[in-house]
Amino acid sequence: EDEGDVEDGGEGAEGFRKKLPLYLQEKAMKHKFTQVWLSFLRLNLPAHILKRSLTMLPEEIIPLMTTPILLSDILTNAVDQKGLVGILALHGLFILVVEHGLEYPNFYRKLYNMLTISTFLTKYRAKFYRLVDTFLSTPLIPAYVVAAFIKRFARLAIQAPPHGALLAMTFVFNLVRRHPSCVILLEGKDASDPHPDPYDAAEQDPAKACALESSLWELETLKSHYHHEVQRFVLVFKRDFTKRNKFTEIDIEKFVARSYDETFSRENTKRLKLCGVRLPGKEGQKLF
């Protein structure tokens, strides 16, 4: 009799689950899915597994979670790691801020401090700068913060190898075009001005860098860059940015995947213009 009761109870429970409305079944599955992923991401994961998991977050994990905001602590800890892990974690936080109401005031400060020369030399630079472009595409960033990013990219353009300089100047161009209040940076002093630049490049908080009080004198310096492609690129800043509707942004894909080796190869395969050279030694052909 007791066994019959247990058997009936089991069948009844299974039958009850089958009778649940579809939306409740889906909600229960999402809840379990959320708990499993939260438990998994809290483990001390190897770097390659953590990278893969963070890559999946925006499109394959967060949309299926009942409470994505619970990822905030995990991502906040991960964003302090160097390299690809940090930018991938920042991408997850970006989704939580934009789509799920997370308040994370340090977001653009974290991004700002990730922008270093080394990012142009890493194998994941294309992924990194595509995400940077996504983060900087929102029109809601304050002008003084945008100005700091513009100045940071301009300084990087001076220090970076040619492929990095071209990408950095692409960001400068696009950001000035997106934010009319930053056009003022194209005016003002040049590189020969003896007065110090108000922009504080050592300041880690872009909001306190005084970038909007500065100017893009770096462009004048880049006109004398050793690479001809960088020199030519500076000419795009002669456009009238007050009439930005008459021209489009520059597609970062033109430069985002280019490397130092590729730049060297492009130069090495160019056909040089031949010219005659007189050799010294014969009368009338000496150099002096």
- Residue-wise pLDDT for 184-217, tens only, equals 999 866 556 667 899 999 999 999 999 999 999 9
Query: Does residue 164 carry a pLDDT above 80?
Result: yes
19 half-sphere exposure, CB direction, 13 A CA radius: 6
Structural domain total, the chain: 2
Residue 169 has pLDDT above 80, yes or no: yes
Both 229 and 112 in one domain: the answer is: yes
DSSP H or E segment with residue 95: helix 84-100
**Residue 18: band (very low, low, confident or very high) from pLDDT cuts 50, 70, 90:** low
Q: Which of 22-26, 61-65, 265-269, 283-287 has the highest mean pLDDT?
A: 61-65
Residues 122 and 63 reside in one and the same domain: no
User: Are residues 34 and 170 located together in one domain of the fold?
Assistant: no
Domain span including residue 161? 106-263
pLDDT of amino acid 151: 98
Q: What is the spatial distance between Cα 81 and Cα 113, in angstroms, rounded to a whole number?
A: 12
Query: Could you give the 3-state DSSP secondary structure of residue 107?
Result: helix
Residue 74, domain member (yes or no): yes
Residues 255, 261, 262, 266, CA torsion sign: positive
Query: Does residue 217 contact residue 158 with C-beta atoms inside 8 Å?
Result: no
Same domain, 172 and 228: yes
The answer to whether the CB of 166 falls within 8 A of the CB of 251 is no
Average pLDDT over residues 53-80: 96
Same domain (yes/no): 83, 112: no
> In angstroms, rounded to a whole number, what is the distance separating the alpha carbons of residues 50 and 47?
5
Residue 216 and residue 174 share a domain: yes
State whether 59 and 175 are in the same domain: no
Question: Is the domain of 124 the same as that of 94?
Answer: no
Q: 232 and 133, same structural domain?
A: yes
Same domain? 162 vs 241:
yes
Mean pLDDT of the 239-265 span? 83
Contact call for residues 153 and 165 (beta carbons, < 8 A): no
**Mean per-residue pLDDT for 22-43?**
90
